[in-house]
Structure 1
Amino acid sequence: MESTGLVLVALALGLAVGAGFMTLLHMAEHHGRRAAEVVNPAVPDGVDQVLDALETAGAVVDPSNNVIKASQAAVSMGLVWNRQLVHTELLDLIGQVRRSGEPISENLILSRGPFGDASMRVRVRLARLGTRYVLLLAEDRTEAFRLDEVRRDFVANISHELKTPIAAVGLLAEALNQAADEPLQVRRFATRLTTESGRLSRLTQEIIELSRLQAQDSLTEPEIVNVDAIVAAAVDQSRVTAEAAQVTIALGKKSRAEVSGDERLLVMAVHNLVANAVNYSGDGSRVGVGVRKNAGVVEISVTDQGVGIEEADLDRIFERFFRVDQARSRHTGGTGLGLAIVKHIVQIHGGDIRVWSQPGSGSTFTIRLPEAPYPAPAAIGDTP
């Protein structure tokens, strides 16, 4: 009987020890899994697919602020580098989300990448993802802000440019009324009034034209057009002004080049360059206009012997309302929109425009357009 009791006690102790050992094994396994999760955390189900589908930037951050998953856009924008968030501003917002548990939306100005000097405007939204993670979404709004600034500047510039001729027309009309009994004064004021109204009309027309060009990214119905005919028409529009200023316009030989595009717009672009060359050239000088084909590219060049352009201004001359010489431009009736119009016309034709200039020696503007794939045969009488 006593031996049986000893056996039962031994069995109970064995069971207790075994149970304790199994508990220890279970706890060790549990801690091992937790440690593995910390070292190699898993993204909650579905988040991988969501981030991969995002066009905007997205990232998931763990409690140690390690980025465990990021979309390609987040890397491209420079928000994530080496599995870490680059910007302390984002880490501060993540800390706020963890403390409050509430989503946060902010507009930030951040550097583009860990080593970049360029800045970007970003709209970010952060929220908790489960109990351990924080989800960061970011939208690059730099271009949207830039376009808003361009629109604001454009409206401000238009208001400024329109104010001058409108005020002049009002003053001249008042002067005409007061000088009704003086024929010489009436004729002088009427001439001035005609000049200012013409300037106002040109400015209005160019604003409308530029707005139309900016509203389209490509040509709707391009046709094969003869470049020599375009140049001839553009030069003819400037003949009277050139003769009045004693400026000679010299045309190069016929190129028989053709491009695909809108004839009216191309004539406008070349005419703007020729008119600028004439206006900024001195009396008795020469303006050269030539066309050449070069490896599938048609180049239309306009060269003057005018005042030239300083190197610091070369990057700005295609901006709206920018003038190299404010006084001369107003004297010649320039609106400051001509080169901006040229640039947009060339761009929607799939080309580009280049400029070379030497202060005191003159400038050369070159429009480069893709040549039409099947040039027309030479016409009888064309100069080779």
Structure 2
Amino acid sequence: MQDAWVVLAALAIGAFLGAGFVVILIIARERGEQAQRVVNPVVPEGVDQVIAALDSAGIVLDPSNNVVRASPGALSLGLVRGLAVTNPELLRLAGLVRADGETVQEEIEVPRGPYGDASVTLLVRVARLGTRFVLLLAEDRTEAKRLDAVRRDFIANISHELKTPIASVGLLAEAVDQAADEPERVRRFASRLSEESSRLARITNEVIQLTRLQANDAVAERALLDLDEIVAVAIDQNRVLASGKRIELALRTRSKARVWGDRELLIVAVHNLVANAIAYSPEGGRIGIGTARRDGIVEISVTDQGIGIPEEDLDRVFERFYRVDQARSRHTGGTGLGLAIVKHTAEEHGGDVRAWSTLGRGSTFTIRLPEAASAADAADAGAERPRPRRTTA
């Protein structure tokens, strides 16, 4: 009987120890799972796929502000490094959402990369994601903000440019009326009226051209064009203007190249370069115009012997209404839109325009366009052409 009690006691002790061991295992497993959740937090279902598909920046933060998910856009903008958010403004917005639970939207500026003075304008929206996480979505508004500034400047500039000739026309009309009995004065005022009318027409025409170039279908219909013919027409359009200043227009070379594009737009672009060279060249000078072919690229260069352009202004001469010398530009009758039209025309045709200059010695402007592979393109003239790259400025 005593032996039976010993056996029962042993079994009870074994069961107690076994149960204790099981409890220890359960506690250890729960702690391990808790640690795993801290190391690898589980975000709500579907968020991973959304974050991965975002073009804009998306970041998910845990309660300790550790980054648990980040989209490629967030990484490319430099908003995340390792497991941390790099900008304190984003953490500030996350803190506001945690404090009151309300969604926050704010526009902020953050540095572009760890070095340099450039910045990125972000429209940031922050909201709760479940009970533990915070979701930050950031849209890069830098280009949109720049375009808004360009539009505002354009409206201000065009208003200013139109104000002077419109006011002049009104004053000259009044002067003609008052001088009705003096034929000589009437003729002089009428001549001035004609000049101001022409100036208004130029501004209006160039604004229309620039607006067309910035439309999505600026060069909807493309034809295979003889580049030498385009250059010859543009030169002929400027011969009277050049002869008035005794300037020689010298066609240096012919490329026999062909390009795909809009004939009228390309003639206007080359015309503007030649007219600009005439305007800023001294009387009796010489302007060289030439074309060349280099590795599938066609170049149209216009070189003058004029006053030249300061180096700091070279990057800005293609901006709308930008003038290196305001007083001289008004004297030459320029609108400040000619080179902007050249730039947009070149870009619409898949090319670009470049400028070189030396003060006191002259300038060279070069339009670069992709050359049409003559044999293949001539046989396939009706095929759809690839759309050129577009920029805004």
**TM-score exceeds 0.5:** yes
CA 1:120–1:63: 2 relative to 1, 3 Å:
same
Partner Cα separation in structure 1 for residue 218 and residue 190 of structure 2: 43
Q: Map of 1:66-85 to 2, 5 A cutoff?
A: 66-85=66-85
The Cα shift of 1:89 comes to 0.7
Aligned to 1:40: 40
- Higher mean Cα deviation, 246-255 or 148-157? 246-255
The Cα shift of 1:7 comes to 7.7
The Cα shift of 1:102 comes to 2.3
Aligned to 1:373: 373
Partner Cα separation in structure 2 for residue 291 and residue 115 of structure 1: 42
Aligned to 1:260: 260
What letter matches 1:64 in structure 2? S
RMSD: 2.2
Partner Cα separation in structure 2 for residue 248 and residue 113 of structure 1: 51
Q: Map of 1:1-384 to 2, 5 A cutoff?
A: 18-216=18-216, 219-374=219-374
- Higher mean Cα deviation, 186-195 or 292-301? 292-301
The Cα shift of 1:372 comes to 1.5
Partner Cα separation in structure 2 for residue 24 and residue 114 of structure 1: 49
Partner Cα separation in structure 2 for residue 289 and residue 51 of structure 1: 54
Q: TM-score, normalised by structure 1?
A: 0.92
Maintained 8 Å contact 2:302/2:364: yes
Residue aligned with 1:43, SS = coil
- Higher mean Cα deviation, 52-61 or 275-284? 52-61
Aligned to 2:391: none
CA 1:325–1:114: 2 relative to 1, 3 Å:
closer
The Cα shift of 1:325 comes to 2.0
Partner Cα separation in structure 2 for residue 197 and residue 288 of structure 1: 31
The Cα shift of 1:99 comes to 2.1
- Higher mean Cα deviation, 366-375 or 163-172? 366-375
Partner Cα separation in structure 1 for residue 78 and residue 253 of structure 2: 53
Q: TM-score, normalised by structure 2?
A: 0.90
CA 1:15–1:296: 2 relative to 1, 3 Å:
closer
Identity of aligned residues (%): 61
Partner Cα separation in structure 2 for residue 116 and residue 326 of structure 1: 32
Maintained 8 Å contact 1:86/1:114: no
Partner Cα separation in structure 2 for residue 168 and residue 86 of structure 1: 57
Question: After superposition, what is the alpha-carbon deviation per residue over 1:276-326, rounded to whole angstroms, capped at 9, x for unaligned?
Answer: 111111111111111122222211111111111111110110000011222
Maintained 8 Å contact 2:212/2:218: no
Maintained 8 Å contact 1:103/1:126: yes
Q: How many residues align?
A: 377
Residue aligned with 1:240, SS = helix
The Cα shift of 1:135 comes to 1.3
- Higher mean Cα deviation, 7-16 or 107-116? 7-16
Maintained 8 Å contact 1:218/1:349: no
Residue aligned with 2:374, SS = coil
Question: After superposition, what is the alpha-carbon deviation per residue over 1:194-240, rounded to whole angstroms, capped at 9, x for unaligned?
Answer: 10011011001100110110113662111111111111110111111
Maintained 8 Å contact 1:317/1:323: yes
Partner Cα separation in structure 1 for residue 363 and residue 157 of structure 2: 26
Maintained 8 Å contact 1:86/1:113: no
CA 1:165–1:293: 2 relative to 1, 3 Å:
same
Question: After superposition, what is the alpha-carbon deviation per residue over 1:80-136, rounded to whole angstroms, capped at 9, x for unaligned?
Answer: 112211100111111222222222221111112334532111111112222221111
- Higher mean Cα deviation, 161-170 or 2-11? 2-11
Structure 1 unaligned blocks of 5 or more: 378-384
What letter matches 1:293 in structure 2? R
Maintained 8 Å contact 2:253/2:292: no
